[in-house]
Chains A and B, each alone.
Chain A
Amino acid sequence: MMSKSVRLILAIVVLCVSLSLLAWGLWPTAHEARTVRIQPAELILPTPVQ
Chain B
Amino acid sequence: MMQPRRSLFIVPALLVLISAACLCGAPSQGLEGAGAPPAAEAPSGGEVQGTATASVAFSFVGATPQPAILEQRRLTLDFPPIIRVGDSEVIRLTLEVDDQGNVTPTASVEGNTVTGEIISIPNLYDTHNVIAEARFDLAGVEVRPPDLISEALLPGESVTFFWSVHPESSGTYRGTIWLHLRFVDKVSGAESRRTVSAQVVEIEAASFLGLSGGLARTTGAVGSLVGGVLGIPFIDDILKFLLRRRKK
| Chain A proximity of B127: nearest CB distance (Å) | 9
A-side contacts of B219, CB under 8 Å: 18, 21
Contact B84 A43 (CB under 8 A): no
Name the contact of A44 in the complex, choosing from B58, B82, B83, B224 (C-beta under 8 A): B58
A residues 1-50 in Cβ contact with B at 8 Å: 4-5, 7-47
Kindly state the separation between the CA atoms of A9 and B231 in the bound complex, as whole angstroms: 9
A37 B52 Cβ-Cβ under 8 A: yes
In Å, the complex CA distance between A5 and B5 comes to 9
Contact A29/B83 with A11-B230, A12-B11, A24-B23 known, Cβ cut-off 8 Å: yes
Cα–Cα, bound, A8→B98 (Å): 61
A35 and B210 alpha carbons, distance in the complex (Å): 34
A46 and B192 alpha carbons, distance in the complex (Å): 7
* Residue from A25, A26, A31 with most neighbouring chain B CB atoms (10 Å): A25
Q: How far is the CA of A4 from the CA of B67 in the complex (A)?
A: 83
Q: A15 CA to B238 CA in the complex, in Å? A: 15
- Whole-angstrom distance from the CB of B190 to the nearest CB of chain A? 10
Q: Is the CB–CB distance between B39 and A33 below 8 Å?
A: yes
Bound together, the chains give a CA A33 to CA B40 distance in angstroms of 7
Whether B227 lies near A12 (C-beta < 8 A) is: yes
Residues of the B chain whose Cβ atoms lie less than 8 Å from the Cβ of A31:
33-34, 37, 78-80
B160 to chain A, nearest CB (A): 13
A32 to B227, CA, bound (A): 37
- Asked if residues B227 and A18 are in contact (CB atoms below 8 Å), the reply is yes
Q: Are B217 and A22 in contact (CB under 8 A)?
A: yes
How near does chain A come to B50, taking the closest CB pair, in angstroms? 9
Residue of B whose beta carbon sits closest to that of A14 = B227
Decide: A29 and B61 in contact? CB cutoff 8 A: no
- How far apart sit A47 and B42, CA to CA, in the bound complex (Å)? 24
Please name the residue on chain A nearest to B102 by beta carbon. Answer: A40
Give 6 nearest A-B pairs by CB, closest first: A18-B223, A22-B220, A15-B227, A30-B33, A33-B37, A21-B220
Given A18-B220, A23-B26, list of 16 further CB < 8 A pairs?
Answer: A4-B233, A16-B12, A20-B23, A21-B216, A27-B27, A28-B31, A29-B30, A31-B78, A32-B79, A34-B41, A36-B47, A37-B75, A38-B196, A43-B73, A43-B124, A45-B124
